[in-house]
Every structure is written in C-alpha cells, then in structure tokens.
Amino acid sequence: MRSVSNKLAPKFIGPFSVTKIINPVTVRLSLPPAYRRVHPVFHVSKIKPVIFSRLNPPAPVPPPPRIVNGETTYLVNRILDSRRRGRGFQYLVDWEGYGPEERRWVPARDILDHRLIDDYNLQILIHVSTS
C-alpha cells in the first residue's frame, strides 16, 4: 500500500479472513488481488482481531459478479483516468461496490459499456476547455 509518508500510512490494513492456521503461531490470510505480491502467511504477532463498533463499522460486502456470455463481469462505477499503452488505451476503473484498493487499469476492449468511455472523454474535454 503506497502512502505519501510512512508516518501517515495506516499501521494495519484489512480486515482479512484467516483461511488456515498453519501452526499455533502462523496463519494464512485470504488477501485480495490488490495484494497479490504479498506472501499470505503471517506470524500471529503481526495481525490483530478486528473489533467493529459504531465508529468502526464493518465494510459493506461487495456485490457478486455477473455472468455475461459465460464470463465473469463486474459493474463499473466510473472511469477515473486514462493512459496510452501500445496502440490502445487503458482506463483506471472504480468498481461498483468495491473500495479504492480494488481500482485497476483495464484495456478499453474490456469495457463493455462504451458510454462510460464517452462520458469520461466528455468530462476531460469540458475540464480542458474550462481551464
């Protein structure tokens, strides 16, 4: 997880569910794809239980993916940014029902609703013309 300053970075991230207790002092966590480069096995001294309260409510459960033509698809909340990659474009996508840690760069060909790209391009055009 990147932060502007280590001093301002969160001390803990999560919550993540424990998928396996390997031994009394080691556990395997279920990490989301955003943390695919992190080894999922931790010493128990590095984790702590989550305590939910009114001030710290549990995160909402993300909606299940849809199946379209036999493939898993997710709803896009909005497009946040774009970049050129090779001969095409990629768009930074904010997924419906998921947090900012799940945002991903997606090739334009993988965005099924092209109105989202058109709306994003219109926003950029309006922003540039008013600047």
Together in a domain, 104 and 71? yes
What is the pairing mode between strands 18-23 and 26-29? antiparallel
- Residue 93, classified by CB atoms within 10 Å of its CB into exposed (0-12), middle (13-18) or buried (19+), is buried
User: Where in the sequence is the domain holding 81, given as residue range(s)?
Assistant: 66-130
Together in a domain, 50 and 101? no
Mean residue pLDDT of the chain comes to 86
Together in a domain, 73 and 95? yes
Predicted pLDDT of residue 3: 52
Distance from the Cα of residue 82 to its chain's centroid: 17
Number of independent structural domains in the chain: 2
H/E run at residue 123: helix 114-130
Share of the chain above pLDDT 90, in %: 45
Together in a domain, 124 and 91? yes
pTM above 0.85, yes or no: no
Judge whether residue 1 has pLDDT over 60: no
Together in a domain, 55 and 70? no
Together in a domain, 86 and 39? no
